[in-house]
Amino acid sequence: PTLAAQRLYNRMLLELHAALPGMKIVVTAGNHDSSSRLDLHSELWDVFDVKVVGGIAKDGDSVDYDRHIVEIAGVGYIIAVPYVYAANYPQTDEDGVSRMRKFHQTLLDRVAARNCNKLPVIMMGHLALSGSDIKGHESKSMRLVYENIEDMGVGYDYLALGHIHRPQFVTDNARYSGSPFAMSFDEDYAHSVTA
């Protein structure tokens, strides 16, 4: 992004924090973001109660799963999963289990172990799920890779999705929020952002 766009992003987050200082803001990288650039400033954003997750967090050779888990005391949990290429998910030793599913299920299992009060669990994911309406995303030069919703794991109450611009439910508890404006001329439908 340009410097002007980065300033606008920073200003927006600071204004949100100032307007609602008790609100937890969680930002994950999308497919057009620089995950390393977002991660570079994540510790600074912690001061303003903004959790930024650019890529899969690693501590040496092992995955830092806790960095993807955001607890909101007495309210619930958010599992922050940024856009990740399938090959970049951590390796798994389990036969027949996809790397993506193992990663997501490990996060969900860790939350379940902490969640003694059975508070709501929201998982964030930036990917294209099979069965979603991709109008405006069709392209001869770029092919979307679809993932199965089963690979998101079991144990979340709501799956907040990004990547597809059209707001829509994929299942009763999995929804694409949409984008506020068209990203291509083929997106000839009403745009909005909903939770």
Mean pLDDT of the chain: 89
Using pLDDT thresholds of 50, 70 and 90, give the confidence band for residue 21: very high
Give the integer Cα–Cα distance in Å for 6 and 3.
Answer: 5
- The residue-averaged pLDDT of 124-130 equals 92
What gap in Å lies between CA 48 and CA 181, rounded to an integer? 28
pLDDT surpassing 70 at residue 187: yes
Does the pLDDT of residue 93 top 70, yes or no?
yes
pLDDT at 96 over 80: no
pLDDT class of 36 with cuts at 50, 70, 90: very high
SS3 38: helix
Rounded CA-CA distance 110/112 in Å is 5
Share of the chain above pLDDT 90, in %: 62
Range 156-179 average pLDDT? 92
Report which listed range, 58-67, 79-88, 90-99, 180-189, is most confident: 79-88
pLDDT for the residue numbered 95: 76
The pTM of the full predicted model, rounded to 2 decimals, is: 0.90
**Rounded Cα distance, 6 and 159, in Å:** 27
Give the Cα separation of 49 and 125 in Å (integer).
20
- What are the angstrom distances between the C-alpha of 167 and each of 121, 133, 154? 21, 9, 23
The residue type of 181 is F
